[in-house]
């Protein structure tokens, strides 16, 4: 019988199955805590898991409690929080074991265990005769292994430490030489090999090379290279306080990302004017006033919490960051003179006013440090952050799911096809405002940059104007000619009012 596949061949599969994840606009916390190995980003879904990892007495946990306690006016809360390591001083190489639950019983019967390690010189060190029969807990197991490792004649092992973290179920080996070197465990497969029991040769093992110190700005940049799944970032209070120059360097990095991330920081009122003079013009940077007389309330997390809790899939999701109340945060401005001073240097603060004798405290004024061409209102900056992320995910999904996007009207239609749902959602969630009046200067500007004399009318009526064009360029890396699509998207941003001025006329 002749196979039917000669005439009809049906290949089964799920079409357009490659879905590109869109960034979650979470808060990232940059920490110097040695508990978190460098080179990775840890995400947590609740404060309890943060406490289990770092400990409930740490600033990392206290920040998470404040973050997850936030409930927006739309009754939403931040879904996750992420942490990344700032290596502020040289560290030795490490083996960080997996987080699979460890039991003392797994070691109690071992009286002649073995462990093989390799240092940077690729020299294998074989440790034998490990006896855990007298160990009373897993910390004692770690101590016995440490003693055996230090007895080896290898510079990387002479002062090495082995610890067990009861919160995370991890055995960690830290070498002797800060700033350089590597350490790995070798699974020999023998019956007495304990490398798997330690979690040092499993899929969850983390190998950390010895490395030198990096700056605060380099630390957030490195974390973004690992995972850009965040929208805002803050720093745990460093052991050595940051200088204004350190903050300026972070602000420069944030500005270069072009509306991708929001950097929020806290500073005393006495430092505000000096600091603002240094970082004025850097987009995406929020200065918050820190109380010097009350406990740290993590005021700089305020915009980060609002951003993370914003559900852009919902109608009217766009937030006015001003007028948000944070009952557990310190009031730092309570009179007009101070408010005027702080506002002049674009400081944000918990300010208090009153109505009918009732004191009302809320976050003010929700502004950033950018220049004249940057979004300085937090809500506008946040909306553009979401819009860019949504467009990026849509384009990647298109590229991964179709054979090609041609540089012709068909390709233009394909790009428009994936952009339109994003634009529609942006109008629904409030990122784009249709029907807003466009003044004469704005009309001229839109006409000039678009080359279309009617573009401003579309921005005013529909809320946006979009054009896609194709051109070729020479790739600077390989010298080859390649085609690119360029889009120009002009839209009417959603503005949030900060005051009401009325006129009561009595007749």
Q: Distance between CA 413 and CA 426 in Å, rounded?
A: 20
Dihedral sign of CA atoms 416, 419, 421, 426 in order: negative
At residue 451, the pLDDT reads 97
> ∠ CA 58-226-46 to the nearest 5 degrees?
35
| 129 plus 221 within the same structural domain | no
User: Do both 243 and 354 map to the same domain?
Assistant: yes
Same domain? 224 vs 349: yes
Same-domain check for residues 439 and 357: no
Please indicate, yes or no, if residue 380 is contained in any of the structural domains: no
Residue 295 placed within a domain: yes
C-alpha angle 183-187-193 in degrees, rounded to nearest 5: 110
CATH number of residue 219's parent domain:
3.40.50
Q: Are residues 495 and 434 in the same domain?
A: yes
81, 155 in Cβ contact below 8 A?
Answer: no
Residues 282 and 354 in one domain: yes
- Is residue 234 in some structural domain? yes
**What confidence score (pLDDT) does residue 2 get?**
55
Q: What is the mean pLDDT of each run of 10 residues along the chain (507 residues)?
A: 47 56 96 92 95 95 98 97 96 95 95 94 90 97 98 95 93 96 94 96 94 97 96 97 98 97 98 98 98 97 98 97 97 97 98 88 97 95 97 95 97 97 98 96 96 97 97 93 96 92 93
Which of 315, 332, 364 is the last residue before a domain boundary?
Answer: 364
Burial environment of residue 435 by CB neighbours within 10 A (0 to 12, 13 to 18, 19 or more): exposed
Residue 200, in any domain of the structure: yes
Q: Tell me the residue length of the chain.
A: 507
Indicate whether 142 belongs to any domain. Answer: yes
Of 188, 208, 228, the residue that ends a domain is: 208
Note whether 73 and 101 are same-domain residues: no
Counted domains in the chain:
3
SS3 of 402, please?
coil
Residues 255 and 191 grouped into a single domain: no
63 and 144 housed in the same domain: no
**Are 346 and 280 within one domain?**
yes
Max intra-chain CA distance, the chain: 100
Residues 42 and 155 in one domain: no
pLDDT of amino acid 7: 40
pLDDT for 17 equals: 60
pTM above 0.75, yes or no: yes
Q: At what angle do helices 269-279 and 244-256 cross, to 10 degrees?
A: 40
For residue 471, count other CB atoms closer than 10 A to its CB: 9
Question: Residue 478, SS3?
Answer: coil
Is 413 part of any domain? no
- What pLDDT does residue 354 have? 87
Q: Which is nearest to 82 in space by CA: 30, 34, 28, 32? A: 28
Contact 485, 470 (CB under 8 A): yes
Question: Which residues form the domain of 193?
Answer: 94-208
Q: Give residue 81's pLDDT.
A: 97
Question: Could you tell me if residue 174 is inside a domain?
Answer: yes
Same domain for 433 and 297?
Answer: no
Q: Could you say which of 208, 228, 259 is where a domain stops?
A: 208
Give a yes or no: residue 324 inside a domain. yes
């Amino acid at each position: 019988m002749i196979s039917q596949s000669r005439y009809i061949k049906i290949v089964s599969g799920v079409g357009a199955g490659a879905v590109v994840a869109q960034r979650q606009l979470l808060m990232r916390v940059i920490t110097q805590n040695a508990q978190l190995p460098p080179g990775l980003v840890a995400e947590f879904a609740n404060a309890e898991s943060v406490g289990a990892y770092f400990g409930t007495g740490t600033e990392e946990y206290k920040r998470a409690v404040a973050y997850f306690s936030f409930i927006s006016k739309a009754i939403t809360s931040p879904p996750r929080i992420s942490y990344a390591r700032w290596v502020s001083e040289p560290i030795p190489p490490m083996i960080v074991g997996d987080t699979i639950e460890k039991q003392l019983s797994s070691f109690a019967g071992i009286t002649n265990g073995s462990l093989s390690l390799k240092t940077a010189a690729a020299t294998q060190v074989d440790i034998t005769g490990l006896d855990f029969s007298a160990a009373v807990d897993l910390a004692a197991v770690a101590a016995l292994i440490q003693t055996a490792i230090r007895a080896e004649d290898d510079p990387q092992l002479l002062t090495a430490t082995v610890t067990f973290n009861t919160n995370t179920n991890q055995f960690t080996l830290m070498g002797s030489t800060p700033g350089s070197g590597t350490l790995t465990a070798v699974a020999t497969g023998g019956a007495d090999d304990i490398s798997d029991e330690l979690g040092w040769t499993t899929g969850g093992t983390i190998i950390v090379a010895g490395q030198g110190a990096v700056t605060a700005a380099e630390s957030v940049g490195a974390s973004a290279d690992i995972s850009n799944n965040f929208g805002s970032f803050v720093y745990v209070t460093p052991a050595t306080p940051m200088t204004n120059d350190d903050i300026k360097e972070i602000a420069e990095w944030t500005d270069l990302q072009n509306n991708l991330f929001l950097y929020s920081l806290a500073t005393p009122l006495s430092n505000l004017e000096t600091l603002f003079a240094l970082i004025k013009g850097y987009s995406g940077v929020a200065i918050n006033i820190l109380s010097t007389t009350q406990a740290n309330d993590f005021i700089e997390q305020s915009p980060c919490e609002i951003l993370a809790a914003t559900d852009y899939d919902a109608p009217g999701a766009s937030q006015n960051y001003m007028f948000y109340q944070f009952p557990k945060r310190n009031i730092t401005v309570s009179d007009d003179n101070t408010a005027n001073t702080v506002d002049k240097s674009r400081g944000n603060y918990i300010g208090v006013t009153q109505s009918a004798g009732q004191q009302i405290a809320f976050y003010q004024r929700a502004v950033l440090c950018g220049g004249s061409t940057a979004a300085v209102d937090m809500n506008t900056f946040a909306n553009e952050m979401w819009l860019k992320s949504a467009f990026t995910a849509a384009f990647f999904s298109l590229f991964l799911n179709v054979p090609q996007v041609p540089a012709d009207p068909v390709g233009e239609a394909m790009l428009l096809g994936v952009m339109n749902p994003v634009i529609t959602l942006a109008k629904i969630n409030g990122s784009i405002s249709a029907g807003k009046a466009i003044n004469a200067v704005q009309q001229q500007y839109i006409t000039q940059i678009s080359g279309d004399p009617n573009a401003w009318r579309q921005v005013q009526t529909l809320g946006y104007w979009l054009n896609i064009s194709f051109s070729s360029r020479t790739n600077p890396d390989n010298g080859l000619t390649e085609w690119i699509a360029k889009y120009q998207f002009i839209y009417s941003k959603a503005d949030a009012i900060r005051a009401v001025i009325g006129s009561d006329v009595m007749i």
